[in-house]
Copies of this chain bind each other. A is one copy, B any other.
């Protein structure tokens, strides 16, 4: 969530009530699902007698504004499970009745997609035999609380209804199909407008549109959520992998390539079979059950176990970029952002407890250096400490958490503690990255893990000859290549830095008689930069058309060569956005290009 502003959360939550209220006025038979706060606003799900159209939104929005002006309060009312169910049955609200049933049975709602539900909208998990209802004007909802004092706190122009989409009750295709109304809400009208303007800009940059236009990737219904990398996308991916090998990994790392298909026994040992099986693709062969790996860690533990290591071998760093598979619900898939198959700049570092601080400090430095290359900044750093449900003892957690703090201090970084936000197997450092569009991303993560090494009974021989259990650091810096490519395409609106561009130089001879010279220029560039991606476009199309096409494909440099250039052994250089970079000698052009590519600009 891009805001931790509790007040804004309350406004958004309150607006969800107003939306439901407005919908019920217009559709008295509407059945209500849930209406959580989300990034930038809120939504609410409804079962309605007819499909909504975009024209419905202004009317509902108008009614919400009117309701807001009525200074409505949120009156809390506690009911027993039975009373609450009877009430919602009388209102013909079967989804609410179902939720109350789950709270009664499980002490919580066993929603399949609980993460999608805002905890605020659900009653306390206090198990005191009651649930809370909130009344706003005429409208009563099952709700845990967390509203504005009264609705006049909401500035009428600070929110708007945004869009409609389909949704299944509890995200399950087997259930009723509902209609979801999304709303945007901010503190002020200005913030809303800025957000809408940014969204418009982002729509133009949407990687799902720009990527296929640039022959980077496409999707096909035969492989939902798995990108087909087209030739230009493979160039970018290969460059990123090379970058990862050189910079994100570097000399001290051992790249491995393990199977993508493992016997389920592996995942039983790692714990994934118990906790993660539903998100895995599984298959049978010769009466054995296999799973496509959703993460690299189990394989890395198994590989470590095949040799006996001494403390002198540590830190031992297994790095891997092979494809991971997750059986995500098809309804949740989206472009490169939410996929079923992806690679990562993943690594598992096996260390002694004494090595944690230095290793993490060096990872922090590396992370900052990496994001600088892409014009991004690390804006916020948190340490997640021992959560309520954690494996291991406080005595194990404290020194590990201290080691992370020591690493951050050593690196001289500001950070805050997020109490209870660690993974169940150990504390972690999360980094929020800000891109040049001002968007925030959770990409880099450094996690300590005491548990998996124990489950796999991993050992190293310490200096005193005793066998000890190593600690594992899980680390990814760019995160998923797929998601990172999506972010890059949007950040740069497809005009990737020269070193990443699929074609770096397009040479356009003015007419046929200049083609030979164009090829000579290409040859000269290739001699200095054997891996440079240079093309001569000598098709019998007009010069204007050829320049436009190269420009449309976001080629960083277009060299036009005609009589004048041949005479002076030079090239006329056009940069992006039709920038005229003037006539340059071939050597000067090559020398500039070389430093640009070598410095990854």
Please give the residue numbers on chain A whose beta carbons come within 8 Å of chain B beta carbons, in ascending order: 173, 218, 220-223, 226-231, 233-235, 237-238, 254-263, 265-266, 281-283, 285-286, 290, 292, 299, 302-303, 306, 312, 322-323, 325, 327, 329-330, 340-341, 539
Contact = CB atoms under 8 A, between A and B. Distances in A.
A281 B261 contact: yes
Given A220-B306, A237-B257, A261-B325, 19 more contacts: A220-B302, A221-B263, A222-B262, A222-B265, A222-B302, A226-B259, A226-B261, A228-B259, A228-B299, A228-B306, A229-B258, A230-B256, A231-B256, A234-B254, A235-B255, A260-B323, A261-B292, A261-B341, A283-B283
Interface of A is mostly: mixed
A231 B255 contact: yes
The 10 A-B residue pairs whose C-beta atoms are closest, nearest first, are: A226-B259, A231-B254, A223-B259, A229-B257, A283-B283, A222-B263, A234-B255, A222-B266, A228-B258, A222-B262
A277 to B, nearest CB: 13
Contacts of A303: 228, 230
A501 B230 CA distance: 32
Contacts of A302: 220, 222
A256 B234 contact: yes
Contacts of A283: 281-283
Nearest to A237: B257
Nearest to A316: B231
A329 B286 CA distance: 8
B229 A260 contact: no
A126 B257 CA distance: 51
A250 to B, nearest CB: 12
A141 to B, nearest CB: 32
Contacts of A329: 286
A306 to B, nearest CB: 6
Nearest to A233: B257
Contact of A223 (B227, B231, B261, B281): B261
A270 to B, nearest CB: 11
A281 to B, nearest CB: 5
Contacts of A266: 222
Contacts of A327: 285
Contacts of A340: 261
Nearest to A219: B259
A234 B257 contact: yes
Given A230-B256, A327-B285, A223 B341 contact: no
Contacts of A257: 228-229, 233-234, 237
14 contacts: A220-B302, A222-B302, A226-B261, A227-B259, A228-B258, A228-B303, A228-B306, A229-B257, A234-B254, A234-B256, A261-B325, A261-B341, A281-B290, A286-B329
A226 B261 CA distance: 8
Contacts of A539: 312
A446 to B, nearest CB: 22
Contacts of A263: 221-223
A218 B286 contact: no
Nearest to A340: B261
Nearest to A282: B283
Contacts of A173: 286
A303 B223 CA distance: 12
Contacts of A233: 257
A303 B312 CA distance: 50
A493 to B, nearest CB: 23
Contacts of A229: 256-258
A218 B256 CA distance: 11
A106 to B, nearest CB: 25
A290 B231 CA distance: 25
A258 B229 CA distance: 6
A411 to B, nearest CB: 26
Contacts of A227: 259
A341 B330 CA distance: 26
Contact of A262 (B223, B261, B265): B223
Contacts of A262: 222-223
Contacts of A290: 281
Nearest to A173: B286
A340 B255 CA distance: 22
